[in-house]
Structure 1
Amino acid sequence: MIYVLAVFLPPLGLLVNGQPFAAIFNLVLLALSVVLTLLTIFTFPIIMLVPSAHAVISVYMTRENRKHREIVDAIERHGPPPGWRR
């Protein structure tokens, strides 16, 4: 669900995911994309995909980082899994 929000409303998707600075950057990127699209008289509408791509990639990376952090915390609390060798 967060990915759908990140595609259609990128700054809001980033805010919901807990990334306020990325949301501000994305809002600036979105405004720049709209201006460039209007200035080129819709010659390059693909520019409008840049903020959505930024939001989706940022949400994915943050979620992967959270998963990784949870695994590391569990290993630190409970020790390595059985059968693990150094």
Structure 2
Amino acid sequence: MPTYEYECTTHGHRFEQFQGINDAPVAICPECGGPTRRVLSAGAGFIMKGGASSSASSIQCGREQTCCGRTERCETPHCHK
């Protein structure tokens, strides 16, 4: 289930609500009882295999992946350095 971010339109309070995608939006601020609106948030990022510091130049051809995109290992690896 996703987490949605809301903002109170009366006082500007911001809060997050964990709810199903088909659930109705939260209409009342839990802090002051005022009306709310759903706001767009940055959302979740994605995780790259090998960490954020991994780059194409650090991948060792024939070990982590093939250099030519084949599904099996290359007979003669061509390193990209």
TM over 0.5: no
When Rg is computed on C-alpha atoms for both structures, the one with the higher figure is 2
Query: What TM-score, normalized by structure 2, do the two folds share?
Result: 0.26
Which structure carries more strand by proportion? 2
Which structure carries more helix by proportion? 1
Q: Which has the higher contact order (CA 8 A, sep 6+)?
A: 1
